[in-house]
Amino acid sequence: MTPFKLTDELLVQIEDLITDHKDSKLVSLMDEIHYADVAEIANELNEDQAVYLIKLLDSDKTSDVLKELDDDVREAVLNNLSSKEIAEEIEELDSDDAADIIAELPDDIVQEVISEIEDREHAQDIVDLLKYPEDSAGGLMAKELVRVNENWNVLTCVKEMRAQAENVTRVHSIYVVDDEERLLGRLSLKDLLTTSTTTPIRDVYIPKVDSVNVNEDPEEVAKIMSKYDLEAIPVIDDLGRLVGRITIDDIVDVIREEAEKDYQLAAGISQSVEADDSIWDLTRARLPWLFLGLIGGVGAAAIMGGFEELISKHAILFFFTPLIAAMAGNVGVQSSAIIVQGLANDDLKGSISNRLVKEVLLATLNGVILAAILLLFTWVWKGSFPTAMAISISLIVVIIVAGIIGTFTPLFLNKRGIDPAIATGPFITTSNDIFGILIYFWIAKVILGI
């Protein structure tokens, strides 16, 4: 019962077994390993080895492994399977996992695979799910659930439930619908078992049940489910009809992916990449933000070019440009990150102007403390009080402006319906670099009177 850990030794052992075509040894080894771990192994093998290994597994395990594989490995494996073979794997999966895999197939294969699925009801469910965009409750939900009609009596209900539960891995709730399939409520198993068999469901169900609309944003679904500690939530369409169910394990993935995306945006990585992706993929994710930084840097250079006279007289001002730029960037990232998190957690109350006032107070407090330290240092180092004063006053103003930009930008983007997370990271650092340097030299010019 110790958790599985993929070691380099195990990987080499498996690679050797594959090279030597020791099929029976491989099969018995894989039998011992959970499908999620088999997928982890396959992700580390090269394409041919991964295909070889997975083709050895029985169909049940293959389908489970398939849904856990990295996209690129899965694509390679599916390329090596016929439409009929893919359909057989699909048959074993829940409708949501099945639809996710089918959605990745080339268009011409999709129809073939669907027509090869023997369970026509399952095929229909999958086709239904393919209609919904990936980033909606519909794109997350599965069709497998237990539904009973309000007009049935307890006896019919129990009989029907038993048949339906066959297809459902985990029955979290029994949902009650009317003749138009509209969601009415849920049924407690306890009530069901303690009620006379002829009682109509209408008289025993609980009319209160949380649900989400099929078009709802997955992040919103995640918020609702984690706020109310739900393990499953029914999904309804615009007419209130029960169309599916989302379970907490899918929501865990949503939360993880969302967090990764925000983190990557804050770090200046523009698409989802992993350390093991190719240099080309990593470049495509990283270069755009670096290019933005380059433009910012060139802009800063151009601004500084406009202050050449000032600089020739007070060369020391130059020495502090990196400090000013860094402080502007750091303050901007801090304040935007706090706003982005507040928006994500829905706990920003009050108006934008209140928020800006608070940030100005905060930035002033931080700015004055830091500027006092800097004043002391520059005065002692260079001996010129007016220059030291000019630098320190500039620092305060730059910090305040950076705080305002950092606070305002994500709030503004959010109002416009744009993901505020893009406001963090290189975007805010770059623009604050430029603003910071401009303000810095401008204030220095005013104070030093040139």
Near a second copy in 383-402, by CB under 8 A = 399
Would you count residue 370 as binding a second copy (CB under 8 A)?
yes
- Backbone torsions φ then ψ of 243, nearest 5 degrees: -115, -15
Near a second copy in 260-319, by CB under 8 A = 260, 262-264, 266-269, 273-276, 279, 282-283, 286-287, 289-291, 293-294, 296-298, 300-302, 304-305, 308, 311-312, 315, 318-319
Instruction: Please enumerate in sequence order all residues whose Cβ is within 8 A of that of 109, keeping only pairs 6 or more positions apart, or say none.
Output: 83, 86
Question: Which residue reads 């984690």 in tokens?
Answer: 226
Would you count residue 162 as binding a second copy (CB under 8 A)?
no
Instruction: Please enumerate in sequence order all residues whose Cβ is within 8 A of that of 272, keeping only pairs 6 or more positions apart, or say none.
Output: 257, 260, 261, 264, 285
Would you count residue 253 as binding a second copy (CB under 8 A)?
yes
The DSSP 8-state label assigned to residue 46 in this structure reads -
Single out the segment in contact with a second copy by CB under 8 A; choices: 6-14, 75-83, 100-108, 150-158: 6-14
Would you count residue 170 as binding a second copy (CB under 8 A)?
yes
Near a second copy in 104-143, by CB under 8 A = none
Phi-psi region at 383: left, alpha or beta (left = phi > 0; alpha = psi -120 to 50): left
Would you count residue 438 as binding a second copy (CB under 8 A)?
no
Would you count residue 341 as binding a second copy (CB under 8 A)?
yes
Would you count residue 96 as binding a second copy (CB under 8 A)?
no
81 vs 234 by CB, closer to a second copy: 234
35 vs 52 by CB, closer to a second copy: 35
For the CB of residue 201, give the shortest distance to a second copy in the complex, in Å. Answer: 19
270 three-class SS: coil
For the CB of residue 260, give the shortest distance to a second copy in the complex, in Å. Answer: 6
Near a second copy in 65-94, by CB under 8 A = none
The DSSP 8-state label assigned to residue 204 in this structure reads T
Across the beta sheet with 183-187, the strand order is 146-149, 174-177, 183-187
Single out the segment in contact with a second copy by CB under 8 A; choices: 54-62, 129-137, 139-147, 363-371: 363-371
Query: For residue 259, which of 218, 229, 289 has the smallest C-alpha distance?
Result: 218
Q: Tell me, what amino acid is at 439?
A: I
Q: Tell me, what amino acid is at 150?
A: E
Across the beta sheet with 242-247, the strand order is 212-213, 232-236, 242-247
For the CB of residue 83, give the shortest distance to a second copy in the complex, in Å. Answer: 28
**Which of 62, 321, 387, 392 touches a second copy by CB under 8 A?**
321
